[in-house]
Structure 1
Amino acid sequence: MTKPYTGIWPVAPTPFHADGSIDTEGMKRVLDCMIDQGVDGICILANFSEQFLISDEERAILTRVCLEHVAGRVPVIVTISHFATPIVVERAQFAKGLGADIVMMMPPYHGALLKGTAEQTFEQFRQVGEVGIPIMLQDAPLSGVDLPVPLLVKMAQEIEMLKLFKIECPQAAAKLRSLIAEGGDFIEGPFDGEEAITLLADLDAGCTGTMTSAMIPDLIGPIVRDFLAGNRQAAIEGYARVLPAVNHENRQCGFRSAKAAMVEGGIIKSEFCRHPIAPLHPDTRSLLIELLRPLDPLVLRWGK
């Protein structure tokens, strides 16, 4: 079976004005830049969108602004994670009503100690599945919830709308390989994340797509496409070229990297992150731009 979900589906950063308010015009420019970067889809309100620093009212505004502005040019994934199942269901209904293509959610968790059991996780995803919109499950260390492969396979088999799996736990390639082997055609979209830091190993394990940041999807997308087309050596060479920048993003910058690059490229005016997130150290930021410039990514010239 040909996997229907492939390519690069990055997370859109959420731009703020220097005073900390949401920059909706900047948000539109971010989306336009991402589409020009050749993305296959866009994810909003994810962890790399600073969703844990955004109010419910702001979430609603951003969802509407993003979906109206993208206007079907590429598919949009709306992140809906929350500990409370009724809130997750309500967010799914809201996203579907505005025309979202997919919703993404982590298992229920709150802080370090409130973690959903296997049964609670299954039930939350089952209820969202009844909304009737495709679901991407995000298996990320942030939740602290253990999601063994047999549970994921059971969920894929029994929850019709659960179609995509973003695996970004430690040893992601091994888990992807097992998930694909045991889940077969029920795993319609095996993806990885974590800024593509493990992309080559994950492609080798069978993933068909990746959810990176919005920093250099124009350079990472061709790696995925080359690999899936059987051009293995081209994929390896492309990956080796971007890996220093990806490593610096993953290990030193996190979600602040895409906004720093977008300010540098004139896409947005401010790389402000809300407290308690600290700004990038000037030296860390400087090295990021130094690593990006030889790659000539679109992000550094789109707004100039």
Structure 2
Amino acid sequence: MKVNWEGVYPAVTTKFTADDHLDHEMFAKNIEAQLSAGVDGIILGGTLGEASSLMEDEKDELVKYTAELAKGKVPVVMNIAEQTTKGAIKAAEKAKANGANGLMMLPPMRYKADDHETVTYFKAVAQSTDLPIMIYNNPVDYKIEVTLDMFESLMECENIQAVKESTRDISNVTRMRNRFGDRFKILSGVDTLALESMLMGADGWVAGLVCAFPAETVAIYRLQKAGKIKEARDIYRWFLPLLELDINSKLVQNIKLAEVATGIGTENVRAPRLPLHGEERKKVLQIIDEGLKNRPVLPDYLNI
């Protein structure tokens, strides 16, 4: 299935049972909510997916199961976050064999590669697969920035097609457009900058709070795409306190708590992560409760 790299791509959470196994039932319930809301793809194994704590067989199982659930309606994208080039190439091979339609790629993990090493890493993986690739550019959290000059070098790899733009510098959307035109699709990777990024020319949104609020997220994207900026902005302004739960070190726990509130998830996380407790939990619940209390009535955004 072709990956267009446009629209809303949820970076979905991985659902666990209380005894720390994959929770297929709740995962399927959440994916169905995403599909019903009109998302344009599903991304597995990102930060929200707790990829660093998943076993290899669990990653394989997740891709296979998600491909079954998606039934060709939307593409399934697997994140590649590996320590070695060899490991990344193997992960890409397995993702394809298990049914993934595309890859999202972080720079090498742990070792802080320089620009040349990072570009060589991306090229090696791209040349090993025919799957389309989105580069995840998040220097704030992962300490390596993929610069414009590095993207210039990556242009020779036709299957490197998109960037998840998470530099927190909104002008980077314009810099990418000025330098590369439409060569790379741009998807905002920061919930609190998503509408601003799309208004500046980003093609879509790799979203976090969509895990709990899929309809509202897709509505914002579809409305701004249709030129209904005020309608999109009104929903976004309501959404912002919730979106801020994504730019926090406890984003996984925050968003899973929001999923509980909307009936499409559980709080179960994999240790060493633990569910929120005490005052921290109380504050997050207050934000979620306030959002639910004032949840907007959405227009018929799927038919505009």
TM-score, normalised by the number of residues in structure 1 = 0.88
Give 5+ residue unaligned stretches, structure 1. Answer: 299-304
Query: SS at the partner of 1:279?
Result: coil
1:193 to 144, 167, 189: 189
Query: SS at the partner of 2:247?
Result: helix
Partner of 1:93: 93
In the alignment, the residues of structure 2 paired with residue 274 and residue 5 of structure 1 have an alpha-carbon distance, to the nearest angstrom, of: 30
In the alignment, the residues of structure 2 paired with residue 24 and residue 180 of structure 1 have an alpha-carbon distance, to the nearest angstrom, of: 40
Question: What pairs up with 1:281-300 in 2 under 5 angstroms?
Answer: 281=277, 282-293=281-292, 294-295=294-295
Partner of 1:42: 42
Q: What letter matches 2:289 in structure 1? A: E
Moved runs in structure 1, 4+ residues, more than 4 A? none
The alignment status of 1:102 with 2:117, answered yes or no, reads no
In the alignment, the residues of structure 1 paired with residue 296 and residue 94 of structure 2 have an alpha-carbon distance, to the nearest angstrom, of: 38
Q: What letter matches 2:188 in structure 1? A: D
1:276 to 272, 279, 290: 272
CA shift for structure 1 position 180: 1.6
1:249, 1:288 within 8 Å by CA — same for their partners in 2?
Answer: no
My pick for the range that moved more, 88-97 or 251-260, is 251-260
Question: What pairs up with 1:245-264 in 2 under 5 angstroms?
Answer: 245-251=242-248, 253-264=250-261
The alignment status of 1:209 with 2:204, answered yes or no, reads yes
CA shift for structure 1 position 144: 0.6
2:45, 2:59 within 8 Å by CA — same for their partners in 1?
Answer: yes
Q: What letter matches 1:12 in structure 2? A: V
1:136, 1:162 within 8 Å by CA — same for their partners in 2?
Answer: yes
Question: What pairs up with 1:43-192 in 2 under 5 angstroms?
Answer: 43-110=43-110, 114-130=111-127, 131-140=129-138, 141-155=140-154, 157-171=155-169, 173-187=170-184, 189-192=185-188
Partner of 1:242: 239
Describe the superposition over 1:191-246 as per-residue Cα deviations: whole angstroms up to 9, x where unpaired. 1112x211132123211100112122311222222222222222222211211221
CA shift for structure 1 position 48: 0.7
Describe the superposition over 1:72-102 as per-residue Cα deviations: whole angstroms up to 9, x where unpaired. 1211111122121111111111222233121
In the alignment, the residues of structure 1 paired with residue 242 and residue 262 of structure 2 have an alpha-carbon distance, to the nearest angstrom, of: 16
CA shift for structure 1 position 296: 6.2
Report the aligned-residue RMSD: 2.1
Q: What letter matches 2:151 in structure 1? A: L
Describe the superposition over 1:45-93 as per-residue Cα deviations: whole angstroms up to 9, x where unpaired. 1111111111222111212221122221211111122121111111111
Report the CA distance shift for 1:81/1:177 in structure 2 as closer, same or farther (over 3 A). same
In the alignment, the residues of structure 1 paired with residue 30 and residue 120 of structure 2 have an alpha-carbon distance, to the nearest angstrom, of: 35
Partner of 1:302: none
In the alignment, the residues of structure 2 paired with residue 153 and residue 74 of structure 1 have an alpha-carbon distance, to the nearest angstrom, of: 29
2:80, 2:105 within 8 Å by CA — same for their partners in 1?
Answer: yes
Query: SS at the partner of 1:68?
Result: helix
Query: SS at the partner of 1:165?
Result: strand
1:216, 1:297 within 8 Å by CA — same for their partners in 2?
Answer: no
1:108, 1:143 within 8 Å by CA — same for their partners in 2?
Answer: no
TM-score, normalised by the number of residues in structure 2 = 0.88
Q: What letter matches 2:261 in structure 1? A: E
Report the CA distance shift for 1:59/1:4 in structure 2 as closer, same or farther (over 3 A). closer
Describe the superposition over 1:139-189 as per-residue Cα deviations: whole angstroms up to 9, x where unpaired. 11222112211212321x211100110011131x111210121011211x2
In the alignment, the residues of structure 1 paired with residue 161 and residue 245 of structure 2 have an alpha-carbon distance, to the nearest angstrom, of: 31
Report the CA distance shift for 1:276/1:61 in structure 2 as closer, same or farther (over 3 A). same
- Give the number of aligned pairs: 288
In the alignment, the residues of structure 2 paired with residue 286 and residue 68 of structure 1 have an alpha-carbon distance, to the nearest angstrom, of: 34
CA shift for structure 1 position 14: 0.5
